[in-house]
Chain A
Amino acid sequence: MKMLNVSISPHIRTSRTTTKVMLDVIIAMSPAMIFGYIYFGWYALLISVLSVSSCVLTEFVYEKIMKLPVTIGDLSAVVTGLVLAMCLYSTSPWWIPVVGGVFAILVVKMLFGGIGQNFMNPALTARCFLLLSFSRIMTAYPSLTDGVSAATPLSMAAAGQHVSYFEMFFGTHSGSIGETSTIAILIGFAYLLIRRVISPRIPLCVIGSTVAFVALFTVMKGETVTLNYLTVHAMGGGLLAGAVFMATDYTTSPVTKWGRVIYGIAVGLITAVIRCFGGSGEGISFAIITANLLTPIIEKLTYPKPLGTYGKKAETK
């Protein structure tokens, strides 16, 4: 008989791997992205391709140069590239996704030690970096009728206009490539939940608290809160996509049960503050990367209590 394997238990493993998890995330993002390609046109697809290739190549080249094992097979760089493309406008010049991808992977991910080590969401940090560096280009809304800059639902709502529910639900309005279609994002969300890739805690807390705080702040400012106004905040901007695909990034969000709740609420609060009091109408990206920085401390505060140390114990003792 040949040598038998001897190892410490357990002797079986789930078939799920890091790569499969990332693949699930990619599948979940695809309805929203495909909708963006159809609605905004082929150039949106090109931006995704550039962004993904830039991320993957950067990781590959960095690891080759540093003589590290190549990890692009885990598909996490593809996810980063897609998330970046998701929150760019389809009118961005071609080099925007390229620069963003390099920044996301090189500066935010690899220099901090690669997968699982970075403390801010790479794609979102890159987006904010682009926003700060090239703000004029980054805030030029894509238009559908040539030459005219179409307003996003958020900017319309800020101007007191009514926004069509139908448009918000299907996503036929101006915005970032993968962020406009509520229904497409919800399909992705459902997929992630069914496959148990994420728990619903973070997205629900982010969305719920953003809406609640926006309502609160609006009332505090003495303005009226309408259902349409709140719906726009929930579905008309990048909130949904941010809550489902970006705030739930494994590496940069807490792993504890209650930590996820606190983190979700923190993201919502910061988003609402930026939206109601800040200059930018969006805010979700900044909110997420700010909350990312709080993750270690939130995790520490919510360290789980072991089974036998709380609740009903021996009555006889």
Chain B
Amino acid sequence: MIKKTFRGGVHIKDMKHLSSGSAIKEYKPQTDLVYLMNQHIGAPAVPCVKPGDRVLVGQTIAEPGGFVSAAVISSVSGTVKTVAAHICHNGDNALAITVANDNEYEAVEGFGVERDYTQMTAEEIIAAVKAAGIVGMGGAGFPTHVKLSVKPGIKIDYIICNGAECEPYITCDYRLMLEQADKAVLGMKIVLSIFKDATGIFGIESNKPEGIAKVKEACKDEPRLSVVPLKKKYPQGGERVMITALTKRRINSKMLPADAGCIVLNFSTAIAIAEAVAYNKPLTHRIVTVTGDAVNTPSNFDAPIGTNVAGLVEAAGGFKYEPEKIIFGGPMMGAAVYTLDVPVNKTTSCILLLKKDTAVPEPHECIRCGKCLTVCPEHLMPIKLKNTADANDYAEFEKLNGLECIGCGCCTYICPAKRRLSQSITAAKQFVLAEKKKAAAKK
């Protein structure tokens, strides 16, 4: 098997065996559902319901708050309780709509009715994606309709379906490959119908041979689709890394994938597109892996968005051990939370419960081993960037290409001196970007 890959990256035990054998189970929430308005990158959504309103499955309860924004759809039927701030997984408070579930799952009219996408124009398809509130479900949460609305004059050559799932532990996309590969293929065909000259590629890490086989099988009659196995290496699923591995094209922080003629969609996102366009089912559910050594039965759930995470952990058999750390997402880029009283959102691929937090060793002096350079997929010099970041020398930081960092964490992972490289670099990067924004706003 020829496996494509990139230079840099780290080999990490993938730990997927914990949950990879567990078929997707439907989860029915017993408590209130909380829909955050900031489940995506860009402007927060704007609620269009008020307390006391009755909402149905598939009903839009918040409208996009700008061009780069996404709608929020109710995943249950019930009554709106509050429209107020709620804590979200990054520790901040954000506006949220709380809905009391009446357990009737009464849906809006037309929900789930099949549509023939071949009769739809590109604009209609993009409008359907937008109305469905679809965002990148791999983690970044970039609104998908924005990705698909390519500026005139830009030619798209590749539609890449990102099935790398390179973060350890997470198995939601893997389960989807086994159980719903044909839907992902349908999603890709829908997107390909917008971009007539593009070819579709599924990039899947080679640690999922069954997944690769299923997807290959599902697209064997599709001349415009192919499956490319990728080497198992983190961060193989990073957007820029993926594009380089599959097309040899390179993009930097100032470019969008479209500038290199590529659109990258996560595997779950492709399925969400198929559901929205061909079955008229907006984004109300997602697959969440609940895993880690502190939970009894690691599982994959089909959970309504807005579900309380504590309930999901209960459904996975509850705690086996008292966890020391709980992470939203994977162990390399996920966010640690201090409470389980947070809702599942569109980008919640995984709830990872760890018995022991291994990320606590004290940092030592750098021994200049050069490992951080070797693993950096962006080919930066993390050791130097950290030094300039710590010295608050932001001009130098930018000159040394600090803004190109994708925050993958490989440098911190590998450092034998346990230096917190990516943490400092990410903080400096955010500071510089915020300053730039301020400066731009002044002009």
**Residue among B334, B380, B414 making CB contact with A11, cutoff 8 Å:** B334
Q: Looking across the interface, which residue of chain A has its beta carbon closest to that of B399?
A: A303
Given contacts A250-B369, A317-B259, contact A13 B251 (CB under 8 A): no
Query: Does A16 interact with chain B (Cβ within 8 Å)?
Result: yes
Proximity bits, B328-353, A CB within 8 Å = 1, else 0: 00011111111100000000000010
Q: Looking across the interface, which residue of chain A has its beta carbon closest to that of B380?
A: A306
Interface size on A, residues (CB 8 A): 50
Pairwise interchain contact B368-A4, C-beta atoms closer than 8 A: no
| CA–CA, A21 and B359, complex, Å | 19
Q: Looking across the interface, which residue of chain A has its beta carbon closest to that of B369?
A: A250
Q: Which stretch from B48-56, B280-288, B319-327 is at the chain A interface?
A: B319-327
Proximity bits, B252-291, A CB within 8 Å = 1, else 0: 1101000111000000000000000000000000000000
Proximity bits, B188-209, A CB within 8 Å = 1, else 0: 0000000000000000000000
**Residue among B327, B334, B361 making CB contact with A13, cutoff 8 Å:** B361
Given contacts A13-B361, A17-B416, A20-B416, contact A314 B259 (CB under 8 A): yes
Pairwise interchain contact A13-B359, C-beta atoms closer than 8 A: yes
Pairwise interchain contact A251-B378, C-beta atoms closer than 8 A: no
Pairwise interchain contact B373-A256, C-beta atoms closer than 8 A: yes
Q: Which residues of A contact B417 (CB under 8 A)?
A: 17-18, 116
Query: Does A304 interact with chain B (Cβ within 8 Å)?
Result: yes
Proximity bits, A273-317, B CB within 8 Å = 1, else 0: 000000000000000000000000000000111111111111111
Given contacts A18-B364, A307-B378, contact A312 B325 (CB under 8 A): no
How distant is A195 from chain B, measured CB to nearest CB, in Å? 12
Query: Does A149 interact with chain B (Cβ within 8 Å)?
Result: no
Pairwise interchain contact A12-B332, C-beta atoms closer than 8 A: yes
Q: Which residues of A contact B374 (CB under 8 A)?
A: 199, 257
| CA–CA, A118 and B255, complex, Å | 40
Pairwise interchain contact B255-A314, C-beta atoms closer than 8 A: yes
Q: Looking across the interface, which residue of chain B has its beta carbon closest to that of A16?
A: B416
Query: Does B119 interact with chain A (Cβ within 8 Å)?
Result: no
Query: Does B38 interact with chain A (Cβ within 8 Å)?
Result: no
Q: Which residues of A contact B261 (CB under 8 A)?
A: 314-316
Pairwise interchain contact B416-A4, C-beta atoms closer than 8 A: no
How distant is A189 from chain B, measured CB to nearest CB, in Å? 17
Within 8 A of A (CB), among B397-440: 400-401, 404, 409, 412-418, 420, 422-423, 426
Pairwise interchain contact A117-B251, C-beta atoms closer than 8 A: no
Q: Which residues of B contact A115 (CB under 8 A)?
A: 364-365, 367
Pairwise interchain contact A4-B359, C-beta atoms closer than 8 A: no
Q: Which residues of A contact B211 (CB under 8 A)?
A: none
Proximity bits, A70-109, B CB within 8 Å = 1, else 0: 0100101000000000000000000000000000000000
The majority secondary structure among interface residues of chain B is loop
Q: Looking across the interface, which residue of chain B has its beta carbon closest to that of A260?
A: B370
Query: Does B395 interact with chain A (Cβ within 8 Å)?
Result: no
Pairwise interchain contact B357-A11, C-beta atoms closer than 8 A: yes
Query: Does A157 interact with chain B (Cβ within 8 Å)?
Result: no
Query: Does B81 interact with chain A (Cβ within 8 Å)?
Result: no
Proximity bits, A248-279, B CB within 8 Å = 1, else 0: 00110111110010000000000000000000
Q: Which residues of A contact B323 (CB under 8 A)?
A: 4
**Residue among B332, B367, B404, B412 making CB contact with A21, cutoff 8 Å:** B367
| CA–CA, A18 and B365, complex, Å | 9
Given contacts A2-B322, A9-B409, A256-B381, contact A307 B357 (CB under 8 A): no
Pairwise interchain contact A250-B370, C-beta atoms closer than 8 A: yes
Pairwise interchain contact B416-A12, C-beta atoms closer than 8 A: no
Q: Which residues of A contact B379 (CB under 8 A)?
A: 304-307
Query: Does A8 interact with chain B (Cβ within 8 Å)?
Result: yes
Query: Does B377 interact with chain A (Cβ within 8 Å)?
Result: yes
Pairwise interchain contact A21-B334, C-beta atoms closer than 8 A: no
Query: Does A3 interact with chain B (Cβ within 8 Å)?
Result: yes
Q: Which stretch from B106-114, B218-226, B242-250 is at the chain A interface?
A: B242-250
Query: Does A132 interact with chain B (Cβ within 8 Å)?
Result: no
**Residue among B91, B253, B423 making CB contact with A6, cutoff 8 Å:** B91
Given contacts A74-B364, A307-B250, A308-B250, contact A4 B255 (CB under 8 A): no
Q: Which residues of A contact B327 (CB under 8 A)?
A: 9, 11
Q: Looking across the interface, which residue of chain B has its beta carbon closest to that of A305?
A: B379
Query: Does A114 interact with chain B (Cβ within 8 Å)?
Result: yes
Query: Does A1 interact with chain B (Cβ within 8 Å)?
Result: yes
- Please name 10 pairs of A and B residues whose Cβ atoms are closer than 8 Å in the assembled complex, sorted by A: A4-B324, A5-B325, A7-B357, A9-B327, A11-B327, A11-B352, A255-B370, A303-B400, A308-B404, A315-B249
New A-B pairs, 11, CB < 8 Å, besides A256-B381, A303-B384 = A10-B332, A20-B416, A21-B367, A255-B370, A308-B251, A308-B255, A312-B250, A313-B260, A314-B249, A315-B261, A316-B155
- What are the 8 tightest A-B residue pairs by CB atom distance, in nearest-first order? A308-B252, A10-B409, A255-B370, A306-B404, A314-B260, A5-B357, A11-B331, A6-B336
A contact set with B: CB distance below 8 Å: 1-14, 16-18, 20-21, 71, 74, 76, 114-117, 199, 250-251, 253-257, 260, 303-317
